[in-house]
């Protein structure tokens, strides 16, 4: 019985790896560069705002 348990461990690991592989390799909807660039623009604007507010606090 113990040998059967030791054989089930790699079997379950292989099944889990197969499920994970199919999930990781699935086709995802591509959003395109426009969404990515818009996100980067928002990030850059937020960083510029925080930089300006830090300069105001250090000048006072």
Alpha helices in the chain (DSSP H): 2-24, 33-59
Percent of the chain with pLDDT over 90: 50
Q: What is the mean pLDDT of residues 14-27?
A: 94
* 19 has pLDDT over 90: yes
Cα dihedral value 34, 39, 41, 42, nearest 10: 140
Q: State the pLDDT confidence band at 7, using cuts at 50, 70 and 90.
A: very high
Q: Tokens in use for 49? A: 């705002």
Q: State the pLDDT confidence band at 8, using cuts at 50, 70 and 90.
A: very high
Please indicate, yes or no, whether the overall pTM of this predicted structure exceeds 0.85.
no
Q: Cα–Cα distance between 45 and 31 in angstroms, integer?
A: 22
Q: How many beta carbons lie within 10 A of that of residue 12, not counting itself?
A: 10
* 30 has pLDDT over 70: no
């Amino acid at each position: 019985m113990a040998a059967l348990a030791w054989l089930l461990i790699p079997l379950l690991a292989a099944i889990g790896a197969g499920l994970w592989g199919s999930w990781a390799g699935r086709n995802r909807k591509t959003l395109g560069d426009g969404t990515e660039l818009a996100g980067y623009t928002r990030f850059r604007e937020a960083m510029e705002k925080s930089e300006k507010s830090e300069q105001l606090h250090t000048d006072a």
